Amino acid sequence: MMRTWQITTVIDAARARIAVARLAAAYGVVPLERTRLAAALSGHLRQCLTKGGSWRLGLETGGGRLRVEVTPRPATGEVPWHLAVPCPEPADPAVSAGVADHTDVLAEALLGADEDTALVLDRLAEQEELVAFHREELHQTNQGVLVLHAELDAAGRAQREAFAAERAARQEAESARRRLTFLADASAVLTASLNHEEIVRRLPELLVPEYARTVDIWLFDSEDDPRSHDPRSSATRPAAAVVAARTGRPQYAADHPGGLPGVDDLPPSALHRDRPLLCVPLPTRRTPLGVLTLTPPGERWDPDDAVMLIELTRRASTALDNARRFEHNRDIAETLQRALLTDLPATPGLRLAARYLPATYGLNIGGDWYDAFRQPDGALVTVIGDVTGHGLHAAVMMSQLRTALRAYAVDGAGPGVLLTRLHTFLHHLQPDLYATAVIARFQPGEPVLTWAAAGHPPPVLREPDGRVRTLDAKPGAMLGIPLHQEITDHTVPLVPGSTLALYTDGLVERRAQGIDPGIERLAEALGSFHTGELDADLDDAAERILDPMLSDSERDDDVCLLLCHIDGGTAEAG
């Protein structure tokens, strides 16, 4: 359905507006939409009246919508204005679009418009309350979000700090593990040697360049006492090193405090103004052995590194002190042992050659010994033995056994009796010390060798035709064990050209092989000579036996070899 109104004056506009509002209500347009339609139409009609002229207002319904359109009359090409609102109900045929001039109708229309406006205002108030509620709710939500963000940010910071602390702790633990590993490895290297010169050489190799840029080791001797005021001892040393030697405390010389635990701070060294110095004494139970002076690998030391360096210096000092003590005792023992080795007696028809070699590895002075002497009846006694243990104590015990044997042999007793007496002597003198020995007795005018053994490797006899055999008749037990024993003599024919080899286990025993292969090698070496070679130069033969037998570069035991050779052209040993 289509309705129209002509509008020229304000009254025409008001009547048309009232008619449109009444029709909108009749068609069931809701108050909010009616008010929106009326307000928009009033505003546009006011613009039309301002422009002047005649206007046509049309209202059309259909398709569930109510459409209002305003166009100029006559048409001027201006774009028509229109507005459409939902129209849910069909039009009531009884509703008239006309509006009378009666004041009651106008008042009713005015009041109706106010009612619609009031409804709109009520709805607006409801919406404002709803908006205010949602605004407050949104504000609370925003506050919660802000608090949540703050909590998340704090949690993130705490987590980052925890991660940083964990990384720092892990790095610190790794650094501590690295220091402890280095300290253990370096200590093992330093304590493995008993040569103080090697320890002094290895110490800088261990520290440079990771823990120090340079290392200087100042070792004191009897003429270099740091507590004296002799300028010779400290004229070329940093003052911090001299203070460390005199006080026994580590010193740090630099133009800034070191902050190192247990270390005293000093002004920078006049000899090394451009770099810090850490001077650590090498302590012992009595007086310092010297001072270790270090320069840092960088600008300064980490305090934990400095603690580790001080501990390593202490361990190096212990290693140096042990090495010096060992070398001192070794020199005394070696001097004593060589002084006690016998000058072999000259005997017509019987040649003797002996060799003694100290160990080259470990504590290299043992209890190996040999001896040869005459008894009152003219017999020649040869002996070779080995006292358990090493060092000065073993060398002194060896000398006592040697002296006791010579004393026991004065009455002309045979080898078995002599060993039995030595066994009793050692058991009562040193119950915790043991020895092994072989005694061979050559009697003038008798082509017989008398011998006896006590826990010692068996003698090896080379016959004139080159055959070699081991004299392995039943030996006695070790000397000094808590056991009563009577050691017996053994005899073997002895013809010109024969050679007897007495030796200690250091010549034939190797840890990986045992002793039997070594005895076989000795027998082969002895059998490789001709009788003429042995007659001509027995000392050279001894050297030629030792060379292949001792091809090892290091030995952890002493070696003794005693060769007794009957001249090939002589029928007896007298």
Over the stretch 373-386, which tens digit does the pLDDT of each residue have?
A: 999 999 999 999 99
Over the stretch 403-458, which tens digit does the pLDDT of each residue have?
A: 999 999 999 999 999 999 999 999 888 887 899 999 999 988 888 999 999 999 99
| pLDDT of 366 above 90 | no
Over the stretch 393-403, which tens digit does the pLDDT of each residue have?
A: 777 788 888 89
Look at residue 230 in the predicted model and tell me its pLDDT: 40
Look at residue 101 in the predicted model and tell me its pLDDT: 56
**Alpha carbons 487 and 474: distance in angstroms, whole number:** 9
Residue located via tokens 């001097």: 335
CB 557 within 8 A of CB 505: yes
**Alpha carbons 411 and 53: distance in angstroms, whole number:** 172
Q: What's the CATH number of domain 196-333, 3.90.1150.10, 3.30.450.40, 3.40.718.10, 3.40.50.1220?
A: 3.30.450.40
Q: What is the DSSP string of 484-535?
A: ---PPPEEEE--TT-EEEEE-HHHH-BTTTBSHHHHHHHHHHHHTS-HHHHH
Dihedral Cα 16, 22, 28, 33, nearest 10 deg: 50
Over the stretch 301-339, which tens digit does the pLDDT of each residue have?
A: 889 999 999 999 999 999 999 888 888 877 776 676 666
Structural element, H or E, at residue 12 = helix 10-26
Look at residue 231 in the predicted model and tell me its pLDDT: 36
Degrees (nearest 5) of the Cα angle 241, 247, 251?
A: 45
Degrees (nearest 5) of the Cα angle 327, 331, 336?
A: 150
Please state, in angstroms and as integers, the Cα–Cα distance from residue 234 to each residue in 218, 246, 275, 498, 504, following that order. 10, 11, 20, 67, 51
Look at residue 234 in the predicted model and tell me its pLDDT: 46
Highest mean pLDDT pick, 93-107, 219-233, 372-386: 372-386
| pLDDT of 93 above 70 | no
Average pLDDT over residues 75-93: 78
The full set of domain ranges for the chain reads 2-99, 196-333, 341-566
Report how far apart the first and last C-alpha atoms of the chain are (Å, whole number). Answer: 168
Over the stretch 468-523, which tens digit does the pLDDT of each residue have?
A: 999 999 899 999 999 999 999 999 999 999 999 999 998 998 877 788 999 999 99
Look at residue 105 in the predicted model and tell me its pLDDT: 61
pLDDT category of residue 290 using cuts at 50, 70 and 90: very high
Give residues with Cβ within 8 angstroms of 315, minimum separation 6.
183, 186, 187, 190, 191
Look at residue 526 in the predicted model and tell me its pLDDT: 93
Give the mean pLDDT of the chain.
85
Degrees (nearest 5) of the Cα angle 536, 539, 543?
A: 120
Q: Which fold has domain 341-566?
A: Phosphatase 2c; domain 1 (3.60.40)
Q: Is the peptide bond before 345 cis (omega within 30 degrees of 0)?
A: no
Look at residue 308 in the predicted model and tell me its pLDDT: 92
Residue located via tokens 């060398």: 395
pLDDT category of residue 32 using cuts at 50, 70 and 90: confident
The tokens describing 236, both together, are 């070329």
Q: Name which of 81, 73, 66 is nearest 19 in CA terms.
A: 66
